């Protein structure tokens, strides 16, 4: 089978969903492919449970990313499936992943996005700096997809890698996490294990339970009887046998976390069970060689380039050791940093653009801008950039025209009603 489109997006996570919806709403014939049999990437399948990077820092955080994500937030709010809470110096949103996945399916159908699930990209053909065709395998047979422009929202720079274009890999391991969803705890005891308290106990007891990581957190979703646990570290290798082994090791670690919680917090968690294991949580694998590499200095100084397309104030959250997470926060409570278009556009292609966690940045810069708020914004920006490029080179897109389209995501500020009083 062959599919022809104007825009082809590979990867249906936070970035790819927003890219596909935005492209389709701009009137572009859009195909969205994902290797998984369900939509949502890590936004849905990994059971992260918390959207970070969507609000400013400070006493009254305001939202910094709008557009296609508005509909998602409003629908989750109507369903009582969103809960705003304070974390660090900002607000994060706890959300129900299942409803988020259903919203994605309905929104993509309404926008007439041609969605192909269970579609694994296995090669990409390039002619004269343009990606022209992707070969995709599905359990029902093979598929060729031709398009004018391609968004690599695979998180792993899958299009660039298969096309033989240069990609980067980390020099030292960046650790992933096996997330779990707990049930069966005492709701009235939530304050006992909320926030980072459990991690303090873990630090002293990890050897006893065979755990490598000594920090992390448990966030209970008030009234829903479930809590998200982020307390393991596992490697994210880019080789299939090692990747599978790492997945199983992550699950073993999660089981040990369960044992630790039951024994150390008998009043609140003596009876907890794992309701679900998330899909392997992958932070960093391969990423683009872009026209520009976003640097940690640009993040620290809040440099706003002329071609800025997304912003956030999330700290640098480096998972670069098995034991712990290194946080770097910003002293200025008004701090904001920006992602330039050039970090999305592949250096050696005219019609290939990344969105999400595989854009070009140094390891520390990516440790901030890969959270979901900026991923939503980058997806939208990628679709607008392709639209404006009109079949010419993405390297020649007029940045003031693009900024005009993205002005809400660059300068808008809104205090959401679900954040009132938080
Ligand atoms: C454990 C963990 C906890 C995190 N916690 C938070 C948090 O609390 N809040 C927050 O905001 N952020 C968090 N993050 C970061 C954030 O979730 C991710 O960086 C973000 O979701 C990435 O979105 P994405 O769209 O770029 O990629 P992904 O969500 O990774 O989506 C990529 C998609 O591409 C598909 N794909 C990959 N290769 C192929 C291929 N060859 N063919 C076809 N499809 C392919 C995959 O199946 C997947 O669906 C966390 C990350 C991890 C790993």
Query: pTM higher than 0.75 for the full model?
Result: yes
Q: Is the CB of 158 under 6 A from ligand 1?
A: yes
Looking up residue 249, the CATH number of its domain turns out to be 3.30.70
Q: Do both 317 and 258 map to the same domain?
A: no
Residue 175 lies in a domain: no
Residue nearest to atom 37 of ligand 1 (CA): 154
Q: Is the CB of 153 under 6 A from ligand 1?
A: yes
Residue 151 lies in a domain: yes
Residue 131 lies in a domain: yes
Q: Do both 273 and 297 map to the same domain?
A: no
pLDDT at position 198: 82
User: Which atom of ligand 1 is nearest to 53's Cα?
Assistant: 11
Looking up residue 140, the CATH number of its domain turns out to be 3.50.50.60
pLDDT at position 196: 64
Q: Do both 13 and 122 map to the same domain?
A: yes
Q: Is the CB of 281 under 6 A from ligand 1?
A: yes
Q: Do both 246 and 306 map to the same domain?
A: no
Q: Do both 10 and 136 map to the same domain?
A: yes
Q: Is the CB of 36 under 6 A from ligand 1?
A: yes
Q: Do both 160 and 190 map to the same domain?
A: no
Q: Is the CB of 382 under 6 A from ligand 1?
A: no
Residue 221 lies in a domain: yes
Q: Do both 325 and 292 map to the same domain?
A: yes
Spacing, Cα 41 to ligand 1 middle (Å): 5
Residue 366 lies in a domain: yes
**Could you say which of 218, 251, 277 is where a domain stops?**
277
Q: Is the CB of 283 under 6 A from ligand 1?
A: yes
Q: Do both 240 and 349 map to the same domain?
A: no
Q: What is the pLDDT along the chain (422 residues), one digit of tens a residue?
A: 999 999 999 999 999 999 999 999 999 999 999 999 999 999 999 999 899 999 999 999 999 999 999 999 999 999 999 999 999 999 999 999 999 999 999 999 999 999 999 999 999 999 999 999 999 999 999 999 999 999 999 999 999 999 999 999 999 889 999 999 999 988 777 666 655 678 888 989 999 999 999 988 888 888 889 999 999 999 999 999 999 999 999 999 999 999 999 999 898 899 999 999 999 999 999 999 999 999 999 999 999 999 999 999 999 999 999 999 999 999 999 999 999 999 999 999 999 999 999 999 999 999 999 999 999 999 999 999 999 999 999 999 999 999 999 999 999 999 999 998 89
Q: Do both 311 and 265 map to the same domain?
A: no
**Could you say which of 231, 260, 277 is where a domain stops?**
277
Bridge partners of residue 287, in order along the sequence: 168
Q: Is the CB of 179 under 6 A from ligand 1?
A: yes
pLDDT at position 400: 97
Q: Do both 148 and 257 map to the same domain?
A: no
**Could you say which of 229, 257, 277 is where a domain stops?**
277
User: Which atom of ligand 1 is nearest to 358's Cα?
Assistant: 26
In terms of residue numbers, what domain contains 386? 2-170+285-419
Residue 321 lies in a domain: yes
Residue 194 lies in a domain: yes
Q: Do both 256 and 395 map to the same domain?
A: no
Residue 209 lies in a domain: yes
Spacing, Cα 360 to ligand 1 middle (Å): 16
pLDDT at position 267: 86
Q: Do both 400 and 358 map to the same domain?
A: yes
Number of domains in the chain: 2
């Amino acid at each position: 089978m062959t599919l022809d489109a104007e825009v082809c997006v590979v990867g249906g996570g936070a970035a790819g969903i927003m890219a596909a919806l935005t492209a389709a709403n701009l009137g572009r014939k859009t195909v969205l492919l994902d290797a998984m049999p369900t939509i949502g990437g890590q936004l849905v399948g990994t059971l992260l449970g918390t959207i970070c990077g969507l609000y400013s820092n400070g006493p009254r955080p305001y939202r910094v990313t709008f557009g296609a994500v508005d509909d998602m937030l409003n629908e989750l709010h109507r369903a009582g499936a969103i809960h705003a809470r304070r974390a660090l110096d900002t607000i994060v949103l706890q959300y129900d992943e299942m409803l988020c996945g259903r919203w994605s399916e309905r929104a993509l159908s309404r926008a007439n996005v041609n969605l192909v699930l269970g579609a694994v990209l296995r090669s990409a053909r390039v002619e004269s700096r343009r990606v022209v065709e992707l070969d995709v395998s599905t359990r029902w047979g093979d598929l060729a997809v031709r398009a004018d422009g391609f968004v690599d929202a695979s998180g792993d720079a899958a299009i660039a890698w298969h096309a033989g274009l240069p990609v980067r890999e980390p020099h030292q391991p960046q650790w992933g996490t096996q997330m779990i969803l707990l049930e069966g705890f005492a709701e009235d005891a939530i304050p006992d294990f909320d926030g980072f308290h459990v991690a303090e106990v873990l630090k002293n007891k990890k050897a006893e339970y065979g755990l490598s990581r000594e920090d992390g957190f448990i966030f209970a979703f008030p009234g829903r009887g479930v809590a998200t646990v982020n307390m393991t570290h596992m490697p994210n290798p880019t080789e299939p046998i090692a990747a599978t082994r790492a997945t199983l090791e992550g699950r073993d670690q999660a089981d040990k976390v369960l044992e630790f919680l039951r024994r150390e917090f008998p009043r609140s968690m003596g009876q907890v069970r794992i309701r679900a294991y998330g899909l392997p949580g992958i932070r960093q694998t391969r990423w683009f060689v872009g026209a520009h590499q976003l640097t940690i200095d640009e993040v620290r100084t809040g440099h706003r380039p002329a071609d800025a397309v997304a912003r956030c104030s999330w700290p640098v959250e480096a998972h670069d050791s098995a034991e712990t997470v290194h946080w770097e926060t910003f002293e200025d409570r008004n701090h904001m940093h920006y992602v330039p278009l050039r970090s999305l556009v592949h250096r050696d292609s005219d019609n290939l653009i990344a969105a999400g966690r595989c854009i070009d940045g140094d390891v520390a810069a990516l440790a901030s801008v890969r959270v979901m708020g900026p991923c939503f914004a980058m997806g939208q920006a990628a679709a607008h950039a392709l639209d404006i490029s009109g079949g010419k080179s993405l390297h020649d897109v007029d940045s003031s025209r693009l900024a005009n389209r993205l002005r809400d995501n660059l300068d808008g500020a809104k205090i959401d009603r679900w954040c009132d009083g938080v």
